[in-house]
Homo-oligomer: A and B are copies of this chain.
Amino acid sequence: MAVYTHLGAEDLAELIAHYDVGELVSAKGIAEGVSNSNWLIETTGGADGGNRFILTMYERRIDISELPFFLGLLDHLAANNCPVPRTIHDRSGSASREIDGKAVALIEYLPGVSVDHPTASQARAVGIALAEMHRASKSYGKTRANGLDISMSLHTLQSCGEDALSAIDDDLPDMIAVAQDLRDAWPWDLPRSICHTDLFPDNVLMLGSRVTGMIDFYFACTDALAYDLAVCLNAWAFEDGGRDALDFNFSKGAALIAGYESVRPLDPVEREALPILCRGAAVRFFLTRLIDWSSTPEGALVKPKNPLEYANRLAFHRKVATAEGYGA
């Protein structure tokens, strides 16, 4: 949550002049995205329609050579009626430009707000939107490896070392051993296409129970479609993340899966794999939270999220044997 780079009115007006969107009227740096700086831009409007846009500057984590994959995906999904912001192309047809050596993209603004406490009907709507996105992504034609799959997660956990792990909590299970077991048992042959892999409530814009936007596709990659559903089970179906308040909400889990299956019914192999996929997703979010947790200086204004919440989710998933355990 930050704006890492200062862009003054002059810089912004110069940039906007390369697009057919009219003249700059307003620009507010917004506290969205952890890897990028973002501005909500208003213009006098242009041929492309619309007068509000999100300007994203790619600061960290994202390999600029991968931008065409991400921005092309937005355009592909938007063209296929998914609630995904399309990119605005400049007058030369390019989806991105450069300012001071950093890539920037102008992206459609979508209405909607991110919920903190999703209801079952909101979870159902997300399941539907996820499955529709999976259906549309099949014709995208580009692929990208998951840099945080279970093999990479295991590798990174091993690099962190036992010490970093045991420093968080005495009761933590041996996460390296857990990840090793998951990797060895991982079902690598499930149906695959492009997954979002980070579809948390803060990456979904909603109006009531309608999904108006799925955003922040910068972890999108080719992976098992059911893994994306497993991420959503972790993200949408647990109540509160406190250490002792672990609470899987079966109504929300069931609604999420039912919504998904109303568009794309799961294969029997996917249903069978759901618990291990959920465990793998919990390890992946435990890991990235651990890294954020360890790398945040003391006294920082933005408190990192506690990785233990995902150790707790993992403990729940390890008791689940079948998709029915999630309400399927």
Contacts and interface: CB of A to CB of B under 8 A. Distances in A.
28 contacts: A1-B3, A2-B31, A2-B301, A3-B31, A9-B114, A9-B115, A10-B115, A11-B116, A12-B113, A13-B113, A25-B111, A25-B112, A25-B207, A26-B112, A26-B205, A27-B113, A28-B28, A28-B30, A28-B31, A28-B32, A28-B40, A29-B31, A30-B30, A30-B40, A31-B31, A40-B40, A297-B299, A297-B300
Interface string A104-147: 00000001111111000000000000000000000000000000
Contacts of A9: 113-116, 206
A315 to B, nearest CB: 26
Given A30-B29, A31-B2, A24 B301 contact: no
A34 to B, nearest CB: 11
Interface string A1-29: 11110101111110000000000111111
A297 B301 CA distance: 10
A11 B115 CA distance: 9
A42 interface: yes
Contacts of A163: none
A215 to B, nearest CB: 12
Contacts of A13: 113
Contacts of A8: 114-117
A1 B39 CA distance: 13
Interface in A30-66: 30-32, 40, 42
Contacts of A28: 28, 30-32, 40
Contacts of A29: 1, 30-32
Contacts of A11: 116
